[in-house]
Structure 1
């Protein structure tokens, strides 16, 4: 089983593209998106555009449509402006947090504990998820674009997960954070999780679903994979590691407030560009619309493709 990052997370078509061909497609994307400024311009780096192209199998028209949707979402939702104090109540139990270690490939690790769900607000839960994603992204090393999820199922029962929240989570991650997931490890998932997984799996692109790995504490192969991925002396004991420290929300709050400063610094370009408050052009662009001859297939393709992978 391959659990490490690969150069290409797409299909054989992407592998066949030469660097100059990829750059040409990136340039085509920029023309379709149009001029941007401030935060949105900063967001649309070549690497970011490349992730959207990868998510859409390097179909420029589909990738541009997807990216425009994200740009409107970022303009309206302002994920980069969420700060720790806005979501602290959601974080109190340690249901999601960024660990203080990375895997052996340098990928940030998000730990999730469904049993620690502490609110019923879908809006609040999604806002905290977005905050965690933005935080993980700014903590990516320069040579890495993806992250790892470690999901601890100890003490889990079906009341800890909402289908509505799961569906909204899939929507946000797949539409607005494409190509950010390296591997998701579901650790010691009980039998009662299987019916929920059957419901949740259709929300995911097959490529994404293939990155979801079930691992068990009593399985020697799982132990081997974990040791290949992590320095187990740093990993929480819940995942077979040696760290027995409990989640301390006060210490974590200190870390996050420091990261908030890093986040503010990263997006500070906004304040240096007077045009940054202008809304991006999001009206229908004829170049992004399918022709009459392929409109039906385009609609089907758009529904079928879910890019968070």
Structure 2
């Protein structure tokens, strides 16, 4: 058994080449139309009565890749369709309080049992978000949902250049209960409406009979594309989805003997994400601080390794010496926070 680890793993220094970024003439024209709409100096978010102008955080969010994600989400139907969805999300983010209300301190009571953990990356460089329903510690659905949203935002903070999706790992072992249908539908709606093109894979273990029935119940509300990404009772290392050094040993078959201790894990995660976001924001400002800047440009990594997407799909094996800098002791937590 390897030495215990209590904190997240450093992000890998690799990039995933994305052929979707090579736009056709039609796609480029649609993108330019969307960009022009949100770049207007007089632009205001519809439905916001006061202070409807874009904030710096909202301009930062409206990156080149973000605009493309929403165009892909509407299947390149029209610029107007993408604009409508983007404006809906901008309004939701403002009203939901993504930048202020849904803070680390606000959701921390939900986090103390480690029911949601960010740890490691799959073979395509996607951050892994683990869910442990058996560790549910509250009965307040509003903050439970806010916790999920906060963790999604931190997952995005841990995405390197060229990485836009996450790997979701859910373990229903240890007598996990069913989430309420209302909570499940709310989370699904938020994911589908405001985080399009973000789910890369969903790996699900130990689904009992009642949960199978539950999934059948919510299945109509799950986007067909997302449904195809779900894998039940996989073997992540054997299937080539993860390397052992990036995966928890318990339940999932990886090499990392991870144990959730809130006082060790939480400050490391929060500090790392805050530092990364601050660094990106500083570089984004230096590049002009405007809508449509490329994440590739401000998420700079020295000597990145580009991963062949097709090869990764078949049987990806990433050199662990290049992608992992595992923090195995408390004394290395500041290294993560400064990453």
TM-score, normalised to structure 2, is 0.68
Question: Does 1:21 pair with 2:26?
Answer: yes
The match for 2:276 among 259, 262, 265 is 262
Please show how residues 45-64 of structure 1 align to structure 2 within 5 Å.
Answer: 45-59=63-77, 60-64=79-83
| Pair 1:7–1:225, CA change in 2 (3 A) | farther
Residue 174 of structure 1 corresponds to 192
1:175: Cα distance to partner? 0.9
5+ long unaligned stretches in structure 2: 1-15, 44-53, 291-339
5+ long unaligned stretches in structure 1: 9-13, 216-221, 277-309
1:65: Cα distance to partner? 0.8
Decide which structure has greater helix share. Answer: 1
Residue 231 of structure 1 corresponds to 243
Deviation by residue 1:87-131 (Cα, 9 ceiling, x = unmatched):
1110111111111x2111111000001111111112101111111
| Pair 1:176–1:268, CA change in 2 (3 A) | farther
Residue 77 of structure 1 corresponds to 96
What secondary structure, in the 3-state scheme, does the structure 2 residue paired with 1:39 have?
helix
Deviation by residue 1:174-202 (Cα, 9 ceiling, x = unmatched):
11111011000011212221110011111
| Pair 1:6–1:167, CA change in 2 (3 A) | farther
| Pair 1:267–1:174, CA change in 2 (3 A) | farther
| Pair 1:250–1:54, CA change in 2 (3 A) | same
Residue 321 of structure 2 corresponds to none
| Pair 1:83–1:262, CA change in 2 (3 A) | farther
How many residues of Structure 1 are paired with residues of Structure 2 in the alignment? 255
Following the alignment from structure 2 to structure 1, what is the Cα–Cα distance between the partners of residues 36 and 280? 25
Structure 1 residue ranges, 4+ long, deviating more than 6 angstroms after superposition = 268-272
1:83: Cα distance to partner? 3.1
1:84: Cα distance to partner? 2.0
| Pair 1:238–1:41, CA change in 2 (3 A) | same
TM-score, normalised to structure 1, is 0.74
CA RMSD of aligned residues (A): 2.7
| Pair 1:95–1:224, CA change in 2 (3 A) | closer
| Pair 1:54–1:85, CA change in 2 (3 A) | same
Q: Is the 8 A contact 2:73 2:196 kept in 1?
A: yes
Residue 97 of structure 1 corresponds to 117
Question: Does 1:124 pair with 2:143?
Answer: yes
1:225: Cα distance to partner? 6.1
What secondary structure, in the 3-state scheme, does the structure 2 residue paired with 1:105 have?
coil
Choose between structure 1 and 2 for higher RCO, CA contacts under 8 A separated by at least 6 residues. 2
